[in-house]
Structure 1
Amino acid sequence: MTWQTGLSGFLAGLLISIVTAPVGVSGAVFLLPVQLSVLHVPNPAVTPTNLLFNVVAGPGALARYRRNGQLTGPLARLLITGTVPGVVLGAIIRVFAIPGPQVFRLVAAAVLLPLGLWLCARALRPAAGDRPPLTRRTILGLGLATGTVGGVYGIGGGSILGPILAGRGTPMTHIAPAALASTFLTSIVGAATYAVLALTTDGDIAPHWILGLLCGIGGLIGGYLGARLQPRLPEKALRLLLGSLATALAALYLFQGLNPSGGN
């Protein structure tokens, strides 16, 4: 790995996390295409490298949210309880059932497209009355499902569940720290699962350690800055930006997944 590649990874992690941390979305969602297209991390090593990024980057935003007193409450515990088992299952599925890059791009598009459209809809739609809050059992079930998808995609799970909670009227000041805490812990479990699977399975399924650490250090700094900026940034504009990015990336990966000659 060249120093230019390492610097690119650091800057990508820094800039992405500044934008994503205020709304509780893991920067790994948008780091994945950078890994594939710019940093040329092989499949399926991109997924555990994303998880490694979450592990290193997560404490930055969490430290700031803790300082603001936003990490208290039961929501984080519920998300963690549901997503941790799911991310282990997702890692196993990723290694043994979805090894090809084309199929992986289709899975990535399936995750990003609804996430992006949901964020855009919530940003553009006029404010409406809150829906009834989700029950504990529903949150746990959704956590398990999103944790599984997150384990396949390498984002931990909390980033997918956060927009769902926002649609039920949960304030972003509660969602962002809880979703990031869930993503951080599930990423630790997911990265460990991939490390164990790497001992018994052929192929590039271990994380790209140096690059993951450099991206994560950038994300550590960017996440702290993003969490610090949250009270000053308009939520509507942030959600619209994130939704637009996610939708555009989903369209790109859908095209590449359906046209093998169009991707790497």
Structure 2
Amino acid sequence: MLFPVAGIEVHPLVPPAVAFIISFFTSMSGLSGAFLLLPFQMSVLGYTPPSVSATNQLFNIIAIPSGVLRYMREGRMVWPLTWAVVAGTLPGVLIGAIIRVTYLPNTADFKLFVGGVLLYIGGRLLKSILTARHCKANLEAAPQLLGQTKTLEFSLKRISYSFQNETYSASTLGIFFLTFVVGIVGGIYGIGGGAIIAPFFITFFGLPVYTVAGACLMGTFVTSIAGVGIYQLLAFIYPTQVIAPDYLLGILFGVGGVGGMYLGALCQKYVPATTLKILLTIFILFTAGKYTLGYFF
């Protein structure tokens, strides 16, 4: 099947199948799946113009709601954390999209930039696993004992909530500025920003992965809507570049992501938190390696 915008030809069942497999595993760690779909599209399908970032975000819009719905039903959505993520990443994604089209249209340059950031994040997460700094968040509680989150404080100064008889808190302004910077990277990459935020929440703020996954997915969903709109607008401003998303390809990816995202969110509570952190680290380092080494070889 020919996808004219992307300029590629592939069997129509391949995109949803790949998206299903990727989303099933990544959604357990608060990732939408777009995190790994981008290197798949670029390295396997040969889809490299800036519009690949917009197509990734279109996938997010279709696939993420099923996973978020599952977290909401189980009472594991930390809404104050979610709104802080959205508030910070939205302006960042706008800036990131402009940088991607204006200053990083070259595929190799933007791979190297994002690869360096991901390598740093993955290194921090790997270090936290090896040193077991967050042992409280890694208690291997029985899946059926996982409780709901409860908001204790939500102000401009601090966000605080309880989970499994433990209290977790973080600076609201700290989260906002962090998500703003990460949103810029997410806008360049085409993942909305929420995916990159998850390891920061785990390593720097000491928040349990069981509670940040839903917030990151919801943040990615909202910012992806804005991201697709921004890239579509930029397509009119830069008519000589392929910037607007490939809607047909994005929808096919999204269809597969819906099933994978929902099942991943459903199965997350049956997987130990340490295992989820290891999976997240592998995803990050794998992508960082692909991007960084690809620049030199």
TM-score by length of 1: 0.92
1:144 aligns with 2:180: yes
Find the counterpart in structure 1 of residue 209 from structure 2: 172
Residue range with higher mean Cα deviation, 3-12 or 228-237: 3-12
Structure 2 length normalisation: TM-score? 0.82
- Is residue 41–residue 52 contact of structure 2 (8 Å, CA) maintained in 1? yes
Secondary structure of the residue aligned to 1:134 is strand
Q: Take 2:199 and 2:283, find their aligned partners in 1: how far apart are those partners?
A: 15
The match for 2:260 is 222
User: How many angstroms does 1:231 deviate by?
Assistant: 0.8
- Segment drifting more, 129-138 vs 197-206: 129-138
Which moves more between the two structures, 229-238 or 186-195? 229-238
Q: CA deviation at 1:235?
A: 1.8
Between the two proteins, what is the percent identity of the paired residues?
39
Residues 174-253 of structure 1 aligned to structure 2 (within 5 Å):
174-201=211-238, 202-253=240-291
Point out the structure with max Rg over C-alpha. Answer: 2
Higher strand share: 2
1:134: Cα distance to partner?
3.0
1:102-155 per-position Cα deviation (integer Å, ceiling 9, x unaligned): 101102312321232233233333244779843111111011111111000011
Distance 2:276 2:209 in 1: 11
Cα 1:130–1:136 shift into 2, 3 Å: farther
> 1:178: how far off?
0.5
Picking from 52, 59, 68, the partner of 2:58 is 52
CA deviation map 1:222-245 (0-9, x unaligned): 000000001101221222123123
Q: In structure 1, the residue corresponding to 2:76 is in which secondary structure?
A: coil
**1:15 aligned partner, one-letter code:** I
Work out the CA distance in 1 between the residues paired with 2:188 and 2:113. 8
Q: What is the alpha-carbon distance in structure 2 between the residues aligned to residue 231 and residue 11 of structure 1?
A: 24
The number of aligned residues is 259
2: CA distance between counterparts of 1:54 and 1:115?
A: 22
Gaps of 5+ in 2: 3-8, 138-167
* Change over 3 Å in CA distance of 1:172–1:129 after alignment to 2: closer
Counterpart CA distance in 2 for 1:128 and 1:225 is 27
RMSD: 1.9
Q: Which residue of structure 2 aligns with residue 255 of structure 1?
A: 293
Distance 2:76 2:283 in 1: 27
Partner letter of residue 169 of structure 1?
G
Residue 157 of structure 1 is matched in structure 2 by 193
Which digits, 9 at most, give the CA deviation of each residue in 1:190-239, with x for residues without a partner?
11000011112121111111111111111111000000001101221222
CA drift at 1:8? 1.7
Task: Output the amino acid matched with 1:55.
Answer: I
Between 31-40 and 114-123, report the one with greater CA deviation.
Answer: 114-123
Q: Equivalent residue for 1:8?
A: 14
Higher helix share goes to which structure? Answer: 1
Matched residues in 2 for 1:24 and 1:245: separation?
12
Separation of aligned partners in 1, 2:197 and 2:56: 18
Deviating more after overlay: 163-172 vs 98-107: 163-172
